[in-house]
Amino acid sequence: MDPLVSTAWLEAELGAPDLRVIDATAFLPGDPRDARAEYEAAHIPGAVRFDIEEIADTESPLPHMLPGAHKFASRMQSLGLGDGNRFVVYDNSPLHTSARVWWMLKVFGVHFAAILDGGMPKWMAEGRPFEIGRDLHRHGHFTAALDREGVADKGFVLGLIGQGTHEIVDARPASRFAGEGGEPRPGLASGHIPGAKSLPQTEFFNADNTWKSREELRALFERAGVDFGKPMVTSCGSGVTAAVPLFAAYLLRKHDVRLYDGSWSEWGADPDLPKAVGA
């Protein structure tokens, strides 16, 4: 299964016994939109709602950090998601949160996972079928094994500064990267990780919410000064939109990419960590 599937492909596959569809919609703190209410008002037939705030390490002071393997497996099972399934993830969020859930699936060992190109906006604009109400499903059996090579922590990122061995790609808006204006979460410094390159997640998408072509994606990285010959770490505000450049790199067959799960929510809150400002 291609990691990026079309709306036409998904509609034709609906009802396949091994296919599971996941609604990964989530929003920034303070956004008046309600992901649960929107899911219940309209979702792709058979889709289950994946709540990144709850399927997380809820004991961590940082937002939606990866849960442990046991909790992830338990939540996947409760959603009726199991081993051997093919997963298609979509969202209806300006944060393109399907990329975060796709990454979570991959780091916990899922082999067949894809993102729906264009997400819910394209699906609805094309008049494709949808359901209302809550999800109904049977219990599944899911085995989770965390691939730690896909995750970066604070210590790992700190060790990269000044070494020139990796590229650090920041998916936040350019103004936040430059340290202009405040962060949406309180208590965070402004700026970016020293040596990071700015590549806002919004630049990866066309006006109709579809992903840009692979040629355009490669050009984005090149214009940002990212050396594809080096391993990459992606970062953002809280580890969600960092999955966008990671997925784009995956589409370009680059797999030596880690996501910094704590991202600026962790880095910007620690006064002892180095910070840079400016473009």
Catalytic residue among 236, 243, 244, 246: 236
**Backbone region of residue 225 per phi and psi (left: phi > 0; alpha: psi in -120 to 50; beta: other values):** left
Residues in the chain: 279
Between the alpha carbon of residue 167 and those of residues 6, 77, 120, 190, 228, the distances in Å are 31, 36, 32, 20, 8
**Pairing between β-strand 167-170 and β-strand 86-90 as defined by DSSP bridges:** unpaired
User: In whole angstroms, how far apart are CA 156 and each of 66, 173, 238?
Assistant: 16, 24, 17
Contact 89, 22 (CB under 8 A): yes
Q: For residues 258 and 81, give the distance between their C-alpha atoms in angstroms, rounded to a whole number.
A: 25
Token pair recorded at residue 264? 């600026």
Q: Which two tokens stand for residue 131?
A: 């359901």
Is 236 tagged catalytic? yes
Beta bridge partners of 152: 260
Residue 100 contacts residue 240 (beta carbons within 8 Å): yes
Q: Looking at the annotation, which residues are catalytic? A: 236
